Structure 1
Amino acid sequence: MYPIKIFVIAFAAFFCEYLTIRWFPTPEPYTLSNILAQFIINPIVFIAMTIMFLLVFLFSRTLSVTF
């Protein structure tokens, strides 16, 4: 694999993980019921966060196969 392709995949994995962390709801007080309520109230954000989380796994798998 070319070094630039490895860099692009690593950057994409980092960016997707950043979005996953950024979009994860952190309500106060931090309880499971409040987190689940946020997922029900904002389903689009939950779906986008889930897709980004799965993409991180795919990108990480690609990088681990490379090395």
Structure 2
Amino acid sequence: MLLLISVFASKVANKFGVPALLLFLFIGMLAGSEGIGGLSFENYNLAKTIGDFSPHFYFIYWGFRN
């Protein structure tokens, strides 16, 4: 469900000229344990691994795009 919401948010971001990353952060805050979604995530090692490698993919994408 979050994936579909993220895809929709990306389309909305392009239409209004808002950075998609800003909308993704907002969606994540809403879906988290403190937000409306109430999703709890207890695997901190996985979260750290994803957080460590995510910027690499982002930088590679923008590097090839320019």
TM-score when scaled to structure 2?
0.38
Decide which structure has greater helix share: 1
TM-score when scaled to structure 1?
0.37
Structure number with higher relative contact order (C-alpha < 8 Å, ≥ 6 residues apart): 1
